[in-house]
Amino acid sequence: MLLSEICKEIGLKLINNDLEISGIHTLSEARNCELSFFNNEKYKDSLPDTKAAAVFIESKYASLLPKTTIALITDEPYLKLALASRFFAYKLQTKEEKPMTGTNCDISSKATFGVNVTLGDNVTVMAGVYIGDDVTVGDNTIINPNVSIYHHCHIGSNCIIHSGTVIGSDGFGFAHTKMGEHVKIYQNGNVIIEDDVEIGASCAIDRAVFGSTTIKKGAKLDNLIQIAHNCEIGEYSIMTAQVGLAGSTILGRNVVMGGQSASAGHLKIGDFAQIAGMAGVTKSLDGNKVYGGFPAIEQKEWLRNQAKLNLLLKSKK
């Protein structure tokens, strides 16, 4: 889509030369045919190095952009991103066709497939499954009844996905107008499930805004887990029932999260960290330690604090 057309639709003026835009991405990942945005000083250092064709940005930061990048001046860059995202959203369709399959697949006649679906060897697909457009599924994977896999997602080999799980639904992303109205940010990324992953029943794994939400090799997810957009679950990590991760959380290798524990967004949990049940992670955590409580701190410290609190309360009786 031409940049001039996008600007016209979202109420901005383009005073530079026009060019064709193919999508939207982050400052660090955007190519010279893509839009980006800047609304958080945390990412200020990314401005001089961005390869984006144009950036929604406030005027006071525009001078930090490289000369090859067009500054689209606005006092609401995040809102303008949301308005522009709809132009690049995948157009859903109801068209169905038989998938391309490898050898020895066992596919229920009650499963539904979009277009250009590819299944590897020895794949099992049970009744009530929906697999959307351009999805690929690797060898020896089992997809149990009533699983939904949205368009453009990738499922690796030797995976098991249990009933009722949804992979690739939209992440929870909205910009807000000055009047408090909520404007959808279209989620134009996908989900990648690597090899040897098992996902329990009734989990929700959201597609990325751009790029991919990724569940890495060997990870094991229990039932009723929420993985928000752009999260990354490290190799061989374990997540037990009712864990919830906010957007862009990154788990390292072999992280263990106990039942009903959760994390805030845009943080990292280091390799081999353990999070106790019902703990609330509010900041990035180092690996090779055990954490508990809310906000989550090292478990030994939290237990000591609880003991001291109990003694204090008893002394006041």
Which stretch of DSSP H or E encloses residue 82?
A: helix 77-85
In this structure, the chain runs to a length of: 317
**Start-end of H helices in 114-250:** none
Q: Check if 176 is active-site.
A: no
Placement of tokens 């949301």 in the chain: 82
Task: Write the CB contacts of 301 (distance below 8 Å, at least 6 apart in sequence).
Answer: none
Query: How far is C-alpha 110 from the chain's CA centre?
Result: 29
Distance CA 8, CA 82 (A): 15
Closest by Cα among 250, 232, 246 to 191: 232
DSSP 28-68: TT--TTEEEE---GGGGGGTTT---SEEEE-GGGGGGS-TT
Q: Which tokens belong to 2? A: 């031409």
Distance CA 291, CA 162 (A): 29
Distance CA 120, CA 137 (A): 6
Placement of tokens 């697909």 in the chain: 125
Contacts 24+ apart (CB under 8 A), 121-125: none
Pairing mode of beta strands 290-292, 226-227: unpaired
Q: Is 188 exposed, middle or buried (0-12, 13-18, 19+ CB in 10 A)?
A: buried
Catalytic residue among 25, 152, 162, 229: 229
Which residues are marked as active site?
Answer: 229
